[in-house]
Amino acid sequence: MDLIRRVSSFSPISYGLTLLSLLIAVILLGILQVHKSYTKQVSPEGCRRIGLQGRSNLADHQDLRYSSGSNPGISLDGTPLWRVKALFIYPIKSCRRIELDHGEIIRTGMKYDRQFCFAQQVTSLPSSEENKDGSHTVKSEWNFITQRTFARMAKVETEMWIPDPSSPTYSPNAEFVKSDGCIVMRFPFSPDVDLSWSGVKALASLIAAKLYGQSEPMVEQCIPFNPSLDRIKEKGYTSEKMKIWKDAPEALNMGAEMPEDVMAKLKYSLGVTNPLTLFRIDTQKYREVFKCAPKKQDVGYQIIIGMADSYPLHIMNLASVHDVASKIPKGYYKEFNPLRYRANVYITGPPAFAEDSWAKARIGDCNYHISCRTTRCKLPNVDPETAIRDRVEPEKTMRSYRVVDKGSSSACLGMQVTPLVEETGEISVGDEVKLLEQGEHFFLKV
């Protein structure tokens, strides 16, 4: 009773200030909790993170010296005039890149590149033909998704962690060591803010995200890179067909690695309404590539890929990007980012579009078959940093003068490439690019 009298004796101002103080204390407590999650260093046991730390090798991509070409060869200071400027892998198709200083080349392209893919379940309308029981057949299949439809995939960050015997936590039996490492995936998710306790915590997470330079709070999930048979059995993975363009490879449905609440937040973040899951290419059932790729009888093996669109590697000449950027209406972009084109290898030195006629090249210690030009869709219209899609550019500009392949009505930029390696090779930033053969290209869709 005494407490009630004291509370009732509060003036409205005192009462309001007390409530405000409590609210501030709760928010600060929430921020402290979120702070712990932001400052906690993710370090999967027995693994190390690969990738370039710090300034990107493409940080100076706007420098006009990259817009003009030169003859191949060695400069006065001994460095190659045609060289690798930057390297990138994309472990999960259409999600954020990982930049490397050097990488391993395998038959499917760069190691760790595009081995995973998100897919949504699409259900057809009932067929017009009746079954014997009067029902109508409804088909359901998994279809791959990309930034073409879900631009927010550009906000899904990835880190690649690989086993490291020198790590103090290394053990051959460590969870992710047995899986050849893991992908740490992060994506933005803004929770609802209201007057409930969960709403206050949501507000705290939003404030903490701003303090740490994030536009939104991030949700994190670890995914085994190459799950062992024991893990596949334990988690109950299924092998299912997943449609990717005209292919329908059997792949591992890894939805069991994504808790329901994480998947629900990811669907909300991306804007996906259908059932969503994560697939990993089955390493025993890689997709075979024919079209313009080298033939098995010529190179001794069948060309294969993981979840890439068509070919193992994508190479982009920075001078060609500069040429496109120079033709986009002035002031349209403050900065035109070459990462819009999601290439693995960015090179400098050759004049703009010189690569259109390349047939074979040597980069570092590997030879590469330049298989065909890259036909461009609307995906480069998505800003890789903001995930905002422009309805017009750069597609309009490219279509105005880059429909150059007689086999396609699409604009072309960059080259689809097949590594000519028996087992593995290496590629590094600074490697010399040597043109070995030239030839004509004709894009084949099948």
pLDDT score at 33: 53
Q: What is the mean pLDDT of residues 109-118?
A: 98
Structure tokens at 75: 């400069």
pLDDT score at 366: 96
Lowest mean pLDDT among 25-29, 128-132, 421-425: 25-29
Confirm if 402 and 396 have CB atoms less than 8 A apart: no
Quote the Cα angle for 137-281-342, to 5°: 105
Q: What percent of the chain has pLDDT over 70?
A: 82
User: Hunting for tokens 């005209």 — which residue is that?
Assistant: 246
Chain centroid offset of residue 144 CA: 13
Amino acid making up residue 362: R
Q: What is the mean pLDDT of residues 295-319?
A: 96
CATH architecture of 55-114+286-446: Beta Barrel (2.40)
pLDDT at residue 323 tops 80:
yes
Structure tokens at 202: 């949501």
pLDDT at residue 316 tops 80:
yes
Q: What is the mean pLDDT of residues 180-191?
A: 92
pLDDT at residue 379 tops 80:
yes
Lowest mean pLDDT among 70-84, 270-284, 402-416: 70-84
Structure tokens at 405: 């392949």
Distances (CA, A) of 287 to 91, 177, 231, 277: 16, 26, 24, 20
pLDDT at residue 275 tops 60:
yes
Domains of the chain by residue range: 25-54+116-124+137-224+227-282, 55-114+286-446
Q: How far apart are CA 329 and CA 106, in angstroms?
A: 40
Q: What is the mean pLDDT of residues 200-210?
A: 58
pLDDT tens per residue, range 124-173: 766 666 676 666 666 899 999 999 999 999 999 999 999 999 999 999 99
Q: How confident is the model at residue 3 (pLDDT cuts 50, 70, 90)?
A: very low
Compute and round to an integer the Cα radius of gyration of the chain.
26
pLDDT at residue 36 tops 80:
no
What is the b/e burial string over 101-139, where b = at least 16 CB atoms within 10 angstroms of the residue's CB?
A: eebebbbbbbbbbbbbbbbbeeeeeeeeeeeeeeeeeee
Q: How confident is the model at residue 402 (pLDDT cuts 50, 70, 90)?
A: very high
Element (H or E) spanning 375, and its range?
Answer: strand 366-375
Which residues are within 8 A (CB) of 184 and not within 5 positions of it... i.e. 6 or more apart?
A: 42, 44, 158, 159, 161, 220, 221, 222, 223
pLDDT at residue 9 tops 60:
no
Q: What is the mean pLDDT of the chain?
A: 89
Quote the Cα angle for 160-253-264, to 5°: 80
pLDDT score at 109: 98
pLDDT tens per residue, range 37-75: 454 456 899 999 999 999 999 999 999 999 999 999 988
pLDDT score at 39: 46
Which residues are within 8 A (CB) of 443 and not within 5 positions of it... i.e. 6 or more apart?
A: 292, 372, 373, 375, 405, 406, 407, 408, 412
State the helix-helix crossing angle for 197-211 and 12-39, rounded to 10 degrees: 60
Q: How far apart are CA 148 and CA 164, in angstroms?
A: 36
SS3 label, residue 34: helix
The DSSP code for 297 is: H
Which residues are within 8 A (CB) of 436 and not within 5 positions of it... i.e. 6 or more apart?
A: 359, 360, 361, 362, 367
Q: When comparing pLDDT for 33 and 343, which is higher?
A: 343
Q: What percent of the chain has pLDDT over 90?
A: 77
- Compute the 3-state secondary structure of the chain and give helix, strand, coil in percent, each to the nearest 5: 25, 30, 45
Distances (CA, A) of 206 to 19, 154, 240, 269, 284: 21, 20, 38, 15, 44
The DSSP code for 388 is: P
